[in-house]
RNA sequence: GGGGCGGUAGUUAAGUUGGUUAUAACGCCGGCCUGUCACGCCGGAGGCCGCGGGUUCAAGUCCCGUCCGCCCCGCCA
């Protein structure tokens, strides 16, 4: 294999018996019986037992006395059958290596946690010794899985005629979207580069340049607060195509996802991946990233309950809000459990969850007094409630709040009721996103996807009159209720792009200042084009079956965007700041005093 | 920016109503052991109870502040 070794530890099998081998690896465990000693030797492919008989190999016996866990050693010897002493727990368990020679290549201090899959070390400890954490078989498997997924994606795209590009990491800040990471310029004091939130504009420019099909496994940077599935720097499979409609991009993505899932974990993604419009997603699931592995869909009951005596329903409805119901067949919830549902919904801005249960043809529960006679019958019919069914109701004057709360309630109930089967998969596209949404702070329209997205042609006329109604040629792909990718057809006509900028409250001068280079490019023969980006880390999370993004990134950061191993971010020398023309106001390491 | 949980030997945890010398397991060190495989047996060492302040005769324990980690909302595509 190399000049130093002939095999991986983990690859030895009964077929190797009798062969002379040289192995290099880490001492996983030592069992010293006083005479014989056994070492478990580990490398990335697995573990194999090494037997040391000091009678047969005195020097190896002496070396074995010194060996401790995680020492790096080289073993020379003969692969032998273990006969009666097979270890069925490990793939190499039928054989062992009878050492003729044992050489210590490197020593190890005692390690803070064992190199095993099941460890109880806190994440702080693991991240502080990430190189040891990564040495554990579980993370070795994930990192190899990640490498394979990347390779498969590259192959699949290359076969489809996509060209791999690199785009700048030091680029220009574009105030749209997330907060930028900034890099000061030494040569132009007071000026800054930004790290890319995505290579969006560059890939469009590559289309203008005529490359037709682009892809990149690119690092992206966003200076926002972190979550279990969000890191400040993450990787996307980014692609862009010319002369395409949304259907074409989605078809390519279907194929790409299918290849990655099949060639890594052997799962067949159903093709084509079903599609759902944004409006339908909100109506049926309350959220734009629905988990489609189970039903329990939302039912609109505004016209049924919006006129009853119940003020907490009538007032929101008359104010233009939404009343959504969830029917749970034959459910039994205690009073306490029903109360707890209020807490599920409150973080999303809803007031609470009302309930009614159909029993013996009559409604019981909090809503019962509003459900006598005709309204009660209509409610039963609309929700399809049968005897013994529980119906939960969420209402809010802001339809988005009602939808989100009901949608999150749906997810909560699905988990609680065990509706999500392990190892099941739900893929869906969500299409026709709104072009704009109100910025909560400024009350202005903001691009929901990004400002280069093309409106649906039939909605373009509303850009000036009713921007809120304009739908975009934008699409997200959602797996098990997690957005794993999204993209759009871009605007390739400068005139239309200008109208979008104006809808965003950006005048000609500002648009020119920020995106002049793009508008100029669009004015020099831009092909119709569109693309998409997949969150590669999230994809690997699914393939690996983990719910922490830190498990799929070799050197991840904490929720405060720090690296516990290197200590980044860290203070720098005054001289470095001076060279950059920077001075820091406030207490160093803490938050700045304004 | 807001809410929740956590921080005690190398590691993971226990620590009652504030009360004597802060426990346990694993790991570590020394000794014994020729078929172990989470080897076993005997012995031993190891503590800034995150940090700072306060209350008290007395603080791991109560109070205030602060730092760090994880989860969620806002934010983020």
Q: What is the DSSP string of A281-346?
A: HHHHHSSSS--TTS----EE-HHHHTTSS-HHHHHHHHTT-EEEEEEETT----HHHHHHHHHHHG
For residue A142, which of A131, A134, A153, A132 has the smallest C-alpha distance? A134
The whole-number pLDDT of residue A208 equals 97
CB < 7 A to strand B: residues 273-302, chain A: 288
Alpha-carbon span A537 to A539, nearest angstrom? 5
Cβ of residue A177 lies below 7 Å from strand B: yes
Alpha-carbon span A121 to A109, nearest angstrom? 17
CB < 7 A to strand B: residues 222-241, chain A: 222, 224-230
Positions on chain B within 7 A of a protein C-beta: 1-2, 10-13, 26-29, 32-40, 66-77
pTM: 0.93
Å separating the CA of residue A218 from the C1' of nucleotide B35: 53
Alpha-carbon span A27 to A536, nearest angstrom? 34
Å separating the CA of residue A122 from the C1' of nucleotide B11: 9
Å separating the CA of residue A120 from the C1' of nucleotide B59: 30
CB A79 within 8 A of CB A95: yes
Alpha-carbon span A200 to A220, nearest angstrom? 11
Please compute, for residue A67, the number of CA atoms within 13 A of its CA located in the half-sphere on the CB side: 32
Cβ of residue A89 lies below 7 Å from strand B: yes
**Nucleotide in closest CA–C1' contact with A69:** B27
Cβ of residue A448 lies below 7 Å from strand B: yes
Q: Is the dihedral of CA A244, A249, A251, A252 positive or negative?
A: positive
A186 is written with which tokens? 């030494």
Tens of pLDDT along chain A (594 residues)? 899 999 999 999 999 999 999 999 999 999 999 999 999 999 999 999 999 999 999 999 999 999 999 999 999 999 999 999 999 999 999 999 999 999 999 999 999 999 988 887 888 999 999 999 999 999 999 999 999 999 999 999 999 999 999 999 999 998 778 999 999 999 999 999 999 999 999 999 999 999 999 999 999 999 999 999 999 999 999 999 999 999 999 999 999 999 999 999 999 999 999 999 999 999 999 999 999 999 999 999 999 998 888 889 999 999 999 999 999 998 888 888 898 899 889 888 898 999 999 998 899 989 998 998 888 999 999 999 999 999 999 999 999 999 999 999 999 999 888 888 877 899 999 999 999 988 777 778 888 888 999 999 999 999 999 999 999 999 999 999 999 999 999 999 999 999 999 999 888 888 888 889 999 999 999 999 999 999 999 999 999 999 999 999 999 999 999 999 999 998 888 899 999 999 887 655 443 332
CB < 7 A to strand B: residues 113-142, chain A: 113-114, 120-125, 127
Cβ of residue A43 lies below 7 Å from strand B: no
CB A284 within 8 A of CB A324: no
For residue A404, what are the contacts with CB-CB under 8 A and spacing of at least 6? A286, A287, A348, A349, A350
The whole-number pLDDT of residue A593 equals 30
Please compute, for residue A558, the number of CA atoms within 13 A of its CA located in the half-sphere on the CB side: 17
Å separating the CA of residue A571 from the C1' of nucleotide B45: 39
């Amino acid at each position: 294999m190399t000049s130093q070794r002939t095999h991986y530890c983990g690859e030895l099998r009964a077929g190797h018996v009798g062969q002379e081998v040289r192995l290099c690896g880490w001492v996983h465990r030592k069992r010293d019986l006083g005479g014989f000693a056994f070492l478990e030797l580990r490398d990335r492919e697995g573990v194999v037992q090494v037997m040391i008989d000091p009678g047969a190999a005195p020097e190896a016996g002496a070396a074995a006395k010194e060996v401790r866990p995680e020492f790096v050693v080289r073993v020379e010897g003969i692969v032998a059958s273990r006969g009666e002493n097979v270890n069925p727990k490990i793939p190499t368990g039928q054989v062992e290596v009878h050492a003729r020679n044992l050489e210590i290549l490197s020593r190890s201090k005692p390690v803070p946690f064992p190199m095993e899959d099941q460890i109880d070390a806190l994440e702080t400890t693991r991240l502080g010794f990430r190189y040891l954490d990564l040495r554990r078989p579980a993370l070795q498997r994930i990192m190899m899985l990640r490498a394979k997924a990347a390779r498969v994606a590259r192959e699949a795209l290359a076969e489809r005629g996509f060209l791999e590009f690199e785009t700048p990491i030091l680029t220009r800040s574009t105030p749209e979207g997330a907060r930028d990471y900034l890099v000061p310029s030494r040569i132009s004091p007071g000026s800054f580069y930004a790290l890319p939130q995505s290579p969006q504009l560059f890939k469009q420019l590559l289309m203008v340049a005529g490359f037709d099909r682009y892809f990149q496994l690119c690092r992206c940077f966003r200076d926002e607060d972190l979550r279990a599935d969000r890191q400040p720097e993450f990787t996307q499979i980014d692609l862009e195509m010319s002369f395409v409609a949304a259907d074409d991009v989605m078809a390519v993505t279907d194929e790409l996802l299918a290849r990655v899932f099949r060639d890594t974990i052997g799962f067949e993604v159903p093709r084509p991946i079903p599609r759902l419009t944004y409006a339908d997603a909100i109506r049926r699931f309350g959220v734009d990233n629905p988990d489609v592995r189970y039903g329990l869909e939302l039912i609109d009951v505004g016209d049924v309950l919006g006129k009853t005596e119940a003020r907490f329903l009538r007032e929101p409805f008359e104010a233009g809000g939404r009343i959504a119901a969830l029917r749970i067949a034959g459910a039994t919830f205690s009073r306490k459990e029903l109360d707890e549902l209020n807490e599920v919904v409150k973080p999303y801005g809803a007031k609470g969850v009302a309930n009614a249960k159909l029993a013996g043809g009559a409604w019981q529960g909090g809503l019962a007094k509003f459900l006598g006679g005709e309204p009660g019958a209509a409610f039963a019919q609309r929700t399809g409630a049968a005897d013994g069914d529980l119906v939960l109701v969420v209402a809010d004057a802001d339809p988005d709040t009602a939808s989100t709360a009901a949608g999150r309630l749906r997810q909560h109930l699905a988990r609680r009721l065990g509706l999500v089967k392990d190892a099941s998969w739900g893929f869906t596209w969500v299409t026709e996103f709104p072009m704009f949404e109100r910025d909560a702070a400024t009350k202005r329209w903001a691009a929901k996807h990004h400002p280069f997205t093309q409106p649906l042609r039939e909605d373009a006329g509303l850009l000036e009159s009713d921007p809120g109604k304009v739908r975009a040629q934008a699409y997200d792909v959602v797996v098990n209720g997690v957005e794993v990718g999204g993209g759009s057809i871009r605007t390739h006509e400068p005139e239309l792009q200008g109208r979008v900028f104006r809808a965003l409250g950006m005048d000609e001068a500002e648009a020119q200042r920020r995106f002049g280079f793009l508008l100029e490019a669009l004015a020099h023969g831009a092909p119709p084009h569109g693309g998409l980006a997949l969150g590669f880390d999230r994809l690997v999370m699914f393939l690996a079956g983990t719910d922490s993004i830190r498990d799929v990134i070799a050197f991840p950061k904490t929720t405060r965007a720090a690296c516990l191993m290197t200590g980044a971010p860290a203070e720098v020398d005054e001289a470095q700041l001076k060279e950059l023309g920077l001075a820091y106001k406030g207490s160093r390491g803490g938050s700045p005093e304004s």
